[in-house]
Chain A
Amino acid sequence: MRPVSYSRVADVATAIGTVAADPGSAFLAGGTTEVDLQRIHVSRSRRLVDINDLPLRQIEELPGGGVRIGALARMSDVAQALPIRRRFPMISQALLLGASPQLRNMASIGGNLMQRVRCGYFRDVVAPCNKREPRTGCSALHGVNRGHAVLGTSEHCIATHPSDVGVAFMALDAVVLTQGPGGQRQIAIDDFYLVPGDRPDREHPLAHGELVVAIEVPPTPMASTSLYLKVRDRESYEFALASAAVAISLHDGTIDDVRLALGGIATKPWRARRAESVLTGAPATPETFTSAAEAELADAIGHGMNDFKIELARRTVVRALRMVTGDPQLHDGMAEGLLSEDGSGPADGSGPADGSGS
């Protein structure tokens, strides 16, 4: 790997000052993606500033039912935190269905938000890639693109955003708290993730040296019965082909309120606002769910190998809605990834007990 200098800082101000002063530097948290990218020369930081000593690990309940998650809280700690499991099971499920136990013990929640795409051409330094090297072209458009996005794409980039928990945060209108050379900011999660447009190299509106310090999830009472459904080729340690985070509030069979976000199919964690508007006020029936799914995917664009994702995403939306509304015809005895109270997976062992792949 390229020669890199390393320093470890103990307070937020020093961290920000150190990185802001050197354009070739970057924050280093869990390192589960960043070190890989350095090793394969996709990231070319000359200096890594280790922020693991910063006091940003707390998970706090907020008055009114929200929660504030320190940016350095580990994925595994967040997944197991009682307020998260009680109030926002979709967050816990999304985390436990991502990566592997080892990675979850290292990876921070702030780093999860900042993770880079898994596009093979982005990670192959000799392939043209607008995200890695602007204006070199997008190899994925006509390449091996089975895992690529069908929503939020542009002619410059179709890389899928890989995060699972980002999808849950998107459904819950989380707010990203940052601190940087210009002071503190609160960024709505939907504004925190940028679609590629003609600048796929820009993924977040952050200034150099601006540090994610926490994520706040606002009170969402209906999220206590939420879920995260992840569809993928293998049972563990794989990124989603399609996923859905959903929370719903029903009254006499009618949908009062709903939150729905999709993963694995879009260039950012995708809030399904069109689907939400179809669902809100409608009867909770399979027909409504299908209409909502079709509305959300109406503008989806496939690029060959990933054409199937459009239909898969529709069906994933319908399935997630059927699950969250307790459709009795569903049998979740295996492979749904639904977690028991202790977060350890279905008791019969047929599911992803150590759930795992982002």
Chain B
Amino acid sequence: MSPAIGAALDRVDGRAKVTGAARYSGEISLPNLSHAVLVGARIPSGRIIGIDCREAMVADGVLAVLTHLDLDRVAATPKLFPSLAGLTAHGQSFFPMQDDVVHYAGQPVAIVLADTLERAEHAATLVQVTYAETPSVTLLDAGRDRAYEPEKIFGGLVPGRNPTRGDPEAALRDAELNLDLTYRFAVNHQNPLEPSTTTAAWDDNDRLTVYDSTQGPTATQLSVAELLGLPPINVRVVSHYVGGSFGAKALIWPHVTLAALAARRIGRPVRLALSRDQMFHSCGHREEQEQRIRIGAGRDGRLTALTHDKISLTSHFDDWAETSLESAAIAYASPTYAGGYRLVRGNIITPTFTRGPGEATGMFALESAMDELAYLTGIDPLELRLRNHADNDPDTGKPWSSKGLKECYQRGAELFGWSDRDPEPGTRRDGQWLIGTGMATAAYPVAAPISPQRARARMYGDGSAVVEAGISEFGTGALTAMTQVAADGLGLPVHRVRFVGGTTDLPNIAAAVGSAGSGATSSAVHLACVQLRDQLIRHAVADQGSPLHGADPDTVVVRDGRMCRRDSPEVGETYHELLDRNHMPDVEALGTWMPVLPMGSDHAMHTFGAQFAEVAVDADLGRIRVRRLVGVFAPGRVLNRKTAHSQLMGGMLWGLGQALLEATRMDPHTGRYANENLADYLVPVNADAPDVTIETIEVPDSVVNPLGVKGVGEIGIVGTSAAIANAVHHATGRRIRELPITLEHLL
């Protein structure tokens, strides 16, 4: 029996998804279901001075119109905290509809409930809100003079300044070569296919069931329970299928609790589905930001100094910045380093995770600057990176738990055909197309939850097993990969194992964020299954009726559901035979994994990769077309080759979007985004997708978690945009230090 882990197993839920049998949170049918539609503030700052609900109240089918005047108060002030911690995980430290103050456009000011969605949508347009508007800040430039240095960012988990190494200012002064470059980034939104949706139903005993599109059922449970003032035992969350998230559903935003409050008020189950435009102001975004990189280097290309500073727009409630500096700080062996965050408060919802949260922007800045250094020194960009390779973590000096970056460079260069590259910019033509190539390093930290991660394995008398953990499947392939992990742990073929997730009734796993979901869940699942297997083996060797009686348990292995002696495989019996003989209907084991925290480890933990891009730029019209992308990554152990490659490809294509298309445009006059729809917020379509080649280098890692899984959720997007921008420079000779790069930059 060959191992299931790593195989390109088809998705176990594929059939349910393509036939429509998979039920998402907006497809839960309940008796008496009513529909809630949020009314959002149309101003970015001010007070509500009147709400006239009379017309809406009498519209057909309307059950209630709730405003700050009559909505129940929440039991606690939410506190932003990343869901990786496994605790409450509010998206921002503010809950709307508790008073008359408007902090950002789109902030909910009323909830309309009706018997059908269409009637609720109509009545929502009849709610007349009058405001006293006050001046607002919605762009970074408008508040730049009031920037401040936060003590901590990212919900208090990350210091506002990175640890400084040496004296970078002195090193910059002494450097043979200096670069001082500034990069600007548009606001990005996650745009999952399924808008966030919550269906909330109360029973007669003040117990609530929440069907929620979430990256973490427990995060929803604890957050909603806290705001409602209920013990967690009164809140059950169900989340079997989620239609993508990319960070939009990593934290718990107000609409989830608003649905529960509304359902309690009208005494009926309530479905609240955000509309596509509401998704642009209801669950965070990648913030507008600017990053400055200064590099000091010798003529040999070796870095002597690196500074990296970021200024970005956050909300009035939270010191949020995506962590743009951390991976860039350790990507190369610069002996001196300094970096920090500055924030500007604005009238926006608190920004949040967006795929590659921080690394996708920070590594764009660093890798663009490294390309400039390559041209300044005349050193091949790949050779330059090798010269600055960090053999150990440059911050702590600790060895890497695993790295594999040099292998990624080498394999990527082979696949791409990098070695015969002519470095001269603007010299290769194909008709009117200017052709260029570029590369970049990808880096993403290996994160882990800080709480124990649990899974349960149960074997039935027939030798089949169900393995459970409270995760949601939001498109990553987790159900499939965990089936493979369970099969190998138990020594069963995959068709004899069913993995079940999707509710808070199951053993607790933290939200799957920060590319940590596969590591956390696979650890718990593996430990549960190995424990159950060992339990059964111990049972067999102690059972006088077993052919394995008296054997040393350490010498017993399991293949295809049959326990046998490693040295004499003919001696053994199946799980079924053991259980049947002993009249045991089932056996269970709970697996608990206590994650290794980076600060407590002797190793530094990071995932690396190498990205290569070829672009064609229309010499006259400025159009940019990506012709090829090659990505080689070293994400530790790959659980399912097919779903892992899909994740990496999705990341790389998103990197293409970040590079060339994606921008949410704020209109400072209205204080609202001007393109809150998918016709005007451009993401790549199939016709934009180039030839994409992906390979993984499997680096063994015995530190990060039991199976050595480092995760593939985000590393694919990191570096893609820089490789493309570097290729645009190679094609045209033009350096664009702004994302997205659009044709007006190149006319």
The residues in A between 121 and 177 inclusive whose CB is less than 8 angstroms from any CB of B are 121, 124-127, 139, 142-144, 146-147
A234-B674 contact, Cβ under 8 Å, with A139-B667, A335-B623, A335-B625? no
* Interface of B (DSSP majority class): loop
Does B599 sit within 8 A of A, measured CB to CB? Answer: no
Q: Mark A252-275, 1 if CB is under 8 A from B, else 0.
A: 000000000000000000000000
Does B75 sit within 8 A of A, measured CB to CB? Answer: no
CB of A311 within 8 A of CB of B674, answer no
* Complex Cα–Cα for A118 and B680 (A): 9
Does A303 sit within 8 A of B, measured CB to CB? Answer: no
Distance in Å: Cβ of B653 to nearest Cβ of chain A:
12
Distance in Å: Cβ of B235 to nearest Cβ of chain A:
34
* Complex Cα–Cα for A290 and B382 (A): 42
CB of A238 within 8 A of CB of B682, answer yes
Does B141 sit within 8 A of A, measured CB to CB? Answer: no
Instruction: Please name all residues of chain B whose beta carbon is closer than 8 Å to the beta carbon of A333 when the two chains form the complex.
Output: 430-431
Cβ 8 A contact of A233, one of B430, B665, B670, B742: B742
Instruction: Please name all residues of chain A whose beta carbon is closer than 8 Å to the beta carbon of B684 when the two chains form the complex.
Output: 234
* Complex Cα–Cα for A143 and B522 (A): 49
Instruction: Please name all residues of chain A whose beta carbon is closer than 8 Å to the beta carbon of B121 when the two chains form the complex.
Output: 1, 39
Q: Mark B413-444, 1 if CB is under 8 A from A, else 0.
A: 00000000000000000111100000000000
CB of B622 within 8 A of CB of A312, answer yes
Distance in Å: Cβ of B131 to nearest Cβ of chain A:
11
A143-B670 contact, Cβ under 8 Å, with A235-B688, A238-B682? yes
Does A8 sit within 8 A of B, measured CB to CB? Answer: no
Does A319 sit within 8 A of B, measured CB to CB? Answer: yes
* Complex Cα–Cα for A241 and B665 (A): 17
CB of B432 within 8 A of CB of A330, answer yes
Chain B residue total in the interface (Cβ 8 A): 40
CB of A315 within 8 A of CB of B620, answer yes
* Complex Cα–Cα for A318 and B618 (A): 13
Does A356 sit within 8 A of B, measured CB to CB? Answer: yes
Instruction: Please name all residues of chain B whose beta carbon is closer than 8 Å to the beta carbon of A2 when the two chains form the complex.
Output: 122, 125
Distance in Å: Cβ of A117 to nearest Cβ of chain B:
12
The residues in A between 286 and 313 inclusive whose CB is less than 8 angstroms from any CB of B are 308, 311-312
Does A28 sit within 8 A of B, measured CB to CB? Answer: no
CB of B621 within 8 A of CB of A319, answer yes
Chain A residue total in the interface (Cβ 8 A): 48
Does A331 sit within 8 A of B, measured CB to CB? Answer: yes
Does B68 sit within 8 A of A, measured CB to CB? Answer: no
* Complex Cα–Cα for A330 and B669 (A): 44
A143-B667 contact, Cβ under 8 Å, with A3-B60, A236-B688? yes
Does A353 sit within 8 A of B, measured CB to CB? Answer: yes
Does B616 sit within 8 A of A, measured CB to CB? Answer: yes
* Complex Cα–Cα for A238 and B687 (A): 12
CB of B660 within 8 A of CB of A235, answer no
CB of A126 within 8 A of CB of B42, answer yes
CB of B685 within 8 A of CB of A356, answer yes
Distance in Å: Cβ of A266 to nearest Cβ of chain B:
18
* Complex Cα–Cα for A2 and B125 (A): 9
Cβ 8 A contact of B122, one of A1, A121, A330, A351: A1
A236-B686 contact, Cβ under 8 Å, with A144-B675, A312-B744, A315-B620? yes
CB of B743 within 8 A of CB of A241, answer yes
A118-B621 contact, Cβ under 8 Å, with A234-B687, A329-B432, A332-B431? no
Distance in Å: Cβ of B162 to nearest Cβ of chain A:
35
Q: Mark B712-747, 1 if CB is under 8 A from A, else 0.
A: 000000000000000000000000000000111001
CB of A144 within 8 A of CB of B432, answer no
Q: Mark B650-673, 1 if CB is under 8 A from A, else 0.
A: 000000000011000111011010
Does B10 sit within 8 A of A, measured CB to CB? Answer: no
13 A-B pairs with C-beta separation under 8 A? A2-B122, A2-B125, A143-B669, A233-B660, A234-B661, A234-B685, A236-B686, A308-B743, A315-B620, A318-B620, A329-B431, A333-B430, A354-B686
Q: Assuming A143-B670, A144-B665, what are 15 further A-B pairs, CB within 8 angstroms? A: A120-B675, A121-B674, A124-B672, A142-B669, A146-B665, A234-B682, A234-B687, A235-B685, A308-B743, A308-B747, A312-B622, A315-B747, A319-B621, A335-B618, A353-B687
Chain A interface residues (CB < 8 Å from chain B): 1-3, 39, 41, 118, 120-121, 124-127, 139, 142-144, 146-147, 231, 233-239, 241, 308, 311-312, 315-316, 318-319, 329-335, 351-357
Chain B interface residues (CB < 8 Å from chain A): 42, 60, 118, 121-122, 125, 430-433, 616, 618, 620-623, 625, 627, 660-661, 665-667, 669-670, 672, 674-675, 679-680, 682, 684-688, 742-744, 747
A-B CB proximity, top 4 nearest:
A331-B431, A235-B687, A308-B744, A144-B674
